Structure 1
Amino acid sequence: MYDKIVDFLLLTAPNTRYVVLATLLLGLSAAVVGCFTLLQKRSLSGDVVAHAVLPGVCLAFLVTQVKFSLYLIIGASLTGWLSLLLVDYIKNNTKIKEDTALSLVLSGFFGFGVMLLTYIQKTGSAAQAGLEQFLFGKASALIGADVWVFAALSALLILIIFLFYKEFVTIIFNKSFAISLGLPVRLMEFLLTTLTVLAVVLGIQAVGVVLMSALLITPAIAARQWSNRLKIIILIAALIGMFSAWLGALISYLFPQMPTGPWIVLVASICAFGSFLVAPKGILVRLVKQKKHRNRVLLENIVKTLYHIVEEKENKGIAIESILEKRNFNFSKKHLQKILIKLEKQKLLYTKDERYFFTELGLQKGKRLTKLHRLWELYLTERLRIAPDHVHEDAENIEHILTPELEAKLEKLLAYPKQDPHNRNIPY
């Protein structure tokens, strides 16, 4: 196993070199183009093109009777491009909606492609052997000539994006502004459509028509979780696409029974699901932030409750039973003791003779929370004409997020009131 990994890393075998280089180019170009397809909200267009290229491959073979990559790519590009034009025509000239048009064109072209493929297989032509691999892809069948074709098309895709980057971005994010600038919007949209077709066509031999749309969109989806800046998204997507291609090729090399294309897509999908979880705006990060917020709100509610007790009895020490009597927190005395220990660590409380006392810092915090709560209650009753017995819950939620700036504006707006709607003093 170790020797095989070394051989793979050094690319000693010619076939391995072709597969790795071709799949890296595929991962790079598909990911970069996929970012623009995703931002255009045309993710399903990649799926349509991927299925629509099959009849193009078959027709190119029927005409040339050879499986030369360039000929097959030309045929695939024509039917893939035609499929998108047909979707736009159906959407713009009939009552059929876009999702229905996509489904109709996808199934129609793919069905026609399968019919042609079946016909070719029954002709008995020796040259058609392996043509069915375009359905699911077979990267191990790539040769040196394929790599040169991949390299040329990938370079072309990247060059077009580099040259027309500003125009593409303007059209995607503000089409009306692009028209006002006099940009050739239709031509640019046609060019973007062509890029999507070429990116899909580029990968059908390695990944197959069934999975190519996933390789086009998945790295872009994963990258979108990490940034809002398009250049950063493109860079991350390109890295994910190339990493997926490299690791998929490695797994297939180490375990020959494992197909390369599906593993490339699987690795990209794992990267996407991982991004959903751990990216800055991912699920786990949001859950952690929500938990921290809930804990902070709970601690502040306990501090505020302690202050209410101190208002009545001054800072003469508070028994833990008094806290539970003052407010029902729906947890046990033992749980409350753990929370009070946290407040001690934050230097908001200290204990003496099994009673809790505010530090100066804790007293100020409790006073401010109480002031914010009562100011907001007064604001809701005076300015929004809400009944005093209906404002407590809203004030309970808003007091934890009011900033010092909003606090100062509230004080000024309400003319520094002395009492809240329930005739309780507002501490300053």
Structure 2
Amino acid sequence: MELTDFFTNYTLRTITLGTAVLGAICGMLGSFAVLRKQSLLGDAISHAALPGIAIAFLITSAKDSNILLLGALVSGLIGVFWIRGIITKTHLKTDTALGLILSLFFGFGMLLLTYIQKQPNANQAGLDKYLFGQAATLVESDVRLMLIVTGISLIILLLFWKEFKLLLFDKNYALTLGFNTRFIDGLISFLIVLAIVIGLQTVGVVLMSAMLLAPAAAARQWTNSLGVMVGLAAIFGACSGVFGTAISASQPGLSTGPVIVLVAAVFVTVSFIFSPERGILFKQLRLIRNRRELELKKTLYFMYDIVRKHEDVSRPHAIRILNNFQGFTKNTLSQLAEKDWITIQGQNWSMTSTGFETAANLYNKNLPEP
């Protein structure tokens, strides 16, 4: 495979564009699912869409993707309605409601697929692609549909940005301002259902939740701004689609959907490790730096206890006087000297005026309040 194939090969160009658009919209809308702490929502909706696909086929006896996706949309919306009903009408928590709907709808969908497969109708072949996805079946009309849905979602996000943001971070305050929180919440859920439904053909029911959550989870590690997070999630999702398609096209027999999800998982892993604020690596580095700083200040504090008993702050003291102090090391002395808190002359040390003032501030902070 060569780079020019992405522009000259119709199938590869269509799949790449489709997966990039799908990744972008899933990243954008997945950000809201992550921030609402409803990570299982994508999984529940994608599984809830399966019986809708099967019922649409049973009614029409046709494999028209638009009709099947319409059935998936209706079924997914019913699943969301049931989830919200369980949460508001019972004492069950969100995760329990999501798990119930996921298993119930998926079990019903698998039952319908089994029934369809036993029918004497060769036309039912291929419905299983909605389970695991089959990106190779994407055509220009599917990509156009993705672009339309993405455009509509983006317009709605811009129009209701303030309301969405307020609902995410302070629902009670939104209520006091008179916002219809049920409508706003339902609108977000509807957009998420749309994104999931248009991705079923590409990634499938089983992996669709990863497409929704992975880019958003990766983006969350890099920023505290909702706008930046949504933008980064869209970029991560689009890049996952493009790189995943390229990798699957480079080797025969590689399924595009799983490869895209694996690439998205790489973005998540890199973000978890290397992001400056929340990354594991930088957290560990900050922890080591804070420990070293604490050791320095403990040693300086101990030195202050020695020095303040004498009128002359700069009076030299033998290094051996520190030998019984647990925080003392030669490296610690060197770092204290670099900070100009002490000076070292042979086997003696003395505290500078800067070091004495710093230690005095530490001492005063540790005094009990009157």
Q: Which structure is larger by alpha-carbon Rg, 1 or 2?
A: 1
1:228 positional shift: 1.7
1:342 aligns with 2:335: yes
* Structure-2 change in CA distance of 1:185 and 1:354 (3 Å): closer
Alignment of 1:320-359 (within 5 A): 320-325=319-324, 327-329=325-327, 336-359=329-352
Q: Which amino acid aligns with 1:328?
A: Q
Does the 8 Å contact 1:69/1:149 carry over to 2?
no
CA distance in 2, matches of 1:367, 1:225: 39
Q: Structure 1 residues 345, 12: closer, same or farther in 2, change over 3 A?
A: same
- State the SS of the aligned residue for 1:6: coil
Alignment of 1:164-313 (within 5 A): 164-279=160-275, 280-312=277-309
- Deviation of the 1:240 alpha carbon: 0.8
- Relative to structure 1, is the Cα distance of residues 186 and 371 closer, same or farther in structure 2, using a 3 angstrom cutoff? closer
Match of 1:119 in 2: 115
Cα offset, 1:115, TM superposition: 1.3
Is contact 1:70–1:149 with CA below 8 Å preserved after alignment? Answer: no
Whether contact under 8 Å (1:61, 1:72) holds in the other structure is yes
Counterpart residue type for residue 305 of structure 2: H
Higher relative contact order (CA 8 A, sep 6+): 2
Structure 1 residue 86 and structure 2 residue 85: aligned? Answer: no
Higher mean Cα deviation, 210-219 or 73-82? 210-219
1:70 corresponds to = 66
Q: Which moved more, 1:298-307 or 1:165-174?
A: 165-174
Task: Kindly provide the amino acid, as one letter, of the partner of residue 55 in structure 1.
Answer: P
Residue identity in the other structure for 1:202: I
Structure 1 residue 136 corresponds to structure 2 residue 132? yes
Distance apart, 1:114 and its partner CA: 0.9
Please report how far the alpha carbon of residue 124 of structure 1 lies from its aligned counterpart in structure 2 after TM superposition. 4.1
Q: Deviations over 1:221-277 (max 9, x none)?
A: 221222221111111111111111111111111112222111212222222232222
Deviation string for 1:312-345 (max 9, x for gaps)? 46544222221123x333x7xxxx1122122222
Please name the residue that 1:155 is paired with. 151
Q: State the shift of 1:95 in Å.
A: 4.3
Q: Residues 369 and 104 from structure 1, CA distance in 2 versus in 1: closer, same or farther, beyond 3 angstroms?
A: closer
Task: Report how far residue 29 of structure 1 moved.
Answer: 0.9
Matched, 1:370 2:363: yes
Q: For each residue in 1:199-232, what CA deviation from the matched residue of structure 2 results, as whole angstroms up to 9, or x when unmatched?
A: 1111111111011111112211221222221111
1:9-67 deviation line (CA, Å, top 9, x unaligned): x4221000110111011011111111122223322121110101111111112222232
Closer, same or farther: CA 213–311 of 1 in aligned 2, 3 Å: same
Change (3 A) 1:182 1:348: closer
Query: Does 1:60 find its partner at 2:61?
Result: no
Q: Residue 357 of structure 1: SS of its match in structure 2?
A: strand
Runs of at least 5 residues in structure 1 that lack an aligned partner in the other structure: 383-428
Is the 1:77–1:201 Cα contact (8 Å) retained in structure 2?
yes
Distance 1:363 1:56 in 2: 75
Alpha-carbon separation, structure 2, partners of 1:185 and 1:317 = 70
Residues in 1 aligned to 2:293 and 2:92: alpha-carbon distance in whole angstroms = 52
Query: How far apart are the structure 1 equivalents of 2:260 and 2:254?
Result: 11
In 2, the alpha carbon distance for the partners of 1:358 and 1:200 equals: 66
Q: Could you tell me the TM-score, scaled by structure 2's length?
A: 0.92
> Offset of 1:363 from its aligned partner?
3.2
Check if 1:6 corresponds to 2:3: yes
Q: Which segment is superposed worse, 146-155 or 179-188?
A: 179-188
TM-score (norm 1): 0.80
Compared CA separation, residues 371 and 262, structure 1 to 2 (3 A): same
For the 8 Å contact 1:347–1:359, the answer to whether it is kept is yes
Asked whether the 8 Å contact 1:66–1:127 carries over to 2, the reply is: yes
Q: Distance in 2 between matches of 1:168 and 1:302?
A: 51
2:344 is paired with a residue whose SS is strand
TM-aligned CA distance change 1:95 to 1:354, over 3 Å: closer
Identity of aligned residues (%): 37
1:25 paired to 2:24: no
Distance 2:180 2:64 in 1: 35
Greater mean deviation of Cα atoms: 358-367 or 285-294: 358-367
Flag the 1:370–1:324 CA change in 2: closer, same or farther, 3 A.
farther
Q: Distance in 2 between matches of 1:248 and 1:71?
A: 28
Matched residue type, 1:299: L
The 1:177–1:372 alpha-carbon spacing in structure 2 relative to 1, beyond 3 Å, is closer
